[in-house]
């Protein structure tokens, strides 16, 4: 054998060029990188600040004015917004500012719990179902059973479940939350399953799988980040949907009962009076729902852009 290269052929590199392959920026990891990218995104920061302000006002808003949410003042009914009553008063002379923020507590709690259940049950059931489908007999069975459970939960009339819960538990906000939680997540599960079914058949996931990447890593590195956009969007819709589902239950006499308020019941109560010009009755609760939605959408868009390396500038 002829030795083609020996040590005499190699020369030391010019010292100035020796550092050229060093990565200047330390690797940050996906979550830290996301965080930095989110706080650089103006829309996301606006959304976050707005969301925190709404939560702050829900906690401390009623205490800022000398009127409680259920205190009636029959000499002061149907007042438009003024320096005295910032959001006006309703037909029983109750202060709308106080009611709006007391209602925020009920509505945000219902919305956040619904979102949390969506995230927990919806994403996990949908994710497992989609991931297991097509993985042998056992995988098919898991997908089949989970999707049939989803169908059964969606098929049972949920008003019946609400009434049963009211019989078993005490009527009130906890019962409403439990009732909404039982079926609220099935839409999310179906959507996530569809997403995972499509994503896992993509070439890069097949490649990762054939290279021996572990299931956990495929799920956390490929499937989850690529589904996050859809998850976030669905979450932003879960919150108002839950808020209005509570309003519907209240309309049927199964929801939050007077004198307690929620954004849903306030918009509902305002229906009869907006046509007579008392716009503030509808405007403030509806505006707050819209602001909550906007805050979530803006923040969600920021996270979504931050997680997608191709969307980064």
293 touches another protein by CB under 8 A: yes
Nearest distance in Å: CB 21, another protein: 27
The secondary structure of residue 275, as a DSSP letter, is: T
46 touches another protein by CB under 8 A: no
136 touches another protein by CB under 8 A: yes
Is the CB of residue 93 less than 8 Å from the CB of residue 159? no
- DSSP β-bridge partners for residue 95: 89
The secondary structure of residue 87, as a DSSP letter, is: T
Nearest distance in Å: CB 230, another protein: 5
| b/e burial code for range 65-75 (CB count within 10 A of at least 16 → b) | bebebeeeeee
170 touches another protein by CB under 8 A: no
169 touches another protein by CB under 8 A: no
Q: Which is nearer to another protein, 62 or 122 (CB)?
A: 122
Angle made by CA atoms 158, 161, 163, in degrees to the nearest 5: 115
User: Which residue, 186, 180, 165, is CA-closest to 240?
Assistant: 180
Query: Which of the ranges 17-25, 88-96, 171-179, 234-242 carries the binding residues for another protein, by CB under 8 A?
Result: 234-242
Angstrom distance (rounded) from CA 311 to CA 35? 15
Query: Which of the ranges 1-9, 55-63, 94-102, 297-305 carries the binding residues for another protein, by CB under 8 A?
Result: 297-305
The first and second tokens of residue 4, run together, are: 């083609």
140 touches another protein by CB under 8 A: yes
Nearest distance in Å: CB 310, another protein: 4
42 touches another protein by CB under 8 A: no
225 touches another protein by CB under 8 A: no
The SS3 assignment for 43 reads helix
> Tokens 């707005």 map to which residue?
50
Q: Which is nearer to another protein, 65 or 293 (CB)?
A: 293
For residue 49, count other CB atoms closer than 10 A to its CB: 13
In the chain the first and final C-alpha atoms are separated, in Å, by: 53
- DSSP β-bridge partners for residue 89: 95
Residues that bind another protein (CB under 8 A): 133-137, 139-140, 143-144, 147-148, 151-152, 154-157, 159-161, 163-164, 167, 186-187, 190-191, 193-195, 197-198, 201-202, 226, 229-230, 233, 236-237, 240-241, 244, 247-248, 251-252, 267-268, 271, 274-275, 282, 286, 289-290, 293-294, 297, 301, 304, 308, 310-311
């Amino acid at each position: 054998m002829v030795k083609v290269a020996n040590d005499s052929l190699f020369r030391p590199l010019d010292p100035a060029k020796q550092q050229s392959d060093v990565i200047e920026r330390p690797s940050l990891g996906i979550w830290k990188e996301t965080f930095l990218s989110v706080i650089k995104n103006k829309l996301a920061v606006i959304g976050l600040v707005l969301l925190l302000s709404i939560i702050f006002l829900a906690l401390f808003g009623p205490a800022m004015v000398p009127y409680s949410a259920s205190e009636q003042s029959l000499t002061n009914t149907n007042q438009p917004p003024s320096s005295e009553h910032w959001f006006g008063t309703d037909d029983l002379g109750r202060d709308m500012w106080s009611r709006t923020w007391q209602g925020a507590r009920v509505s945000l709690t219902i919305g956040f719990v619904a979102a949390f259940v969506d995230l927990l049950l919806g994403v996990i059931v949908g994710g497992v179902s989609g991931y297991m489908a097509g993985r042998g007999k056992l995988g098919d069975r898991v997908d089949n059973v989970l999707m049939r459970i989803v169908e059964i939960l969606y098929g049972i009339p949920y008003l019946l479940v609400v009434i049963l819960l009211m019989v078993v538990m005490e009527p009130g906000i906890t019962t409403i939350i439990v009732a909404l939680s039982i079926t609220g997540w099935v839409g999310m599960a179906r959507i996530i399953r569809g997403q995972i079914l499509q994503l896992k058949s993509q070439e890069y996931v097949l490649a990762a799988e054939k290279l021996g990447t572990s299931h956990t890593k495929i799920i956390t590195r490929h499937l989850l980040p690529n589904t996050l956009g859809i998850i976030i969007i669905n979450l932003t819709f879960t919150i108002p949907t839950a808020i209005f589902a509570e309003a519907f239950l209240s309309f049927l006499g199964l929801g939050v009962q007077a004198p307690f308020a929620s954004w849903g019941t306030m918009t509902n109560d305002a229906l009869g009076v907006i046509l007579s010009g008392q716009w503030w009755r509808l405007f403030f609760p509806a505006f707050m729902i819209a602001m909550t939605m906007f805050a979530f959408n803006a923040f969600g868009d920021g996270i979504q852009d931050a997680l997608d390396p191709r969307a980064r500038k």
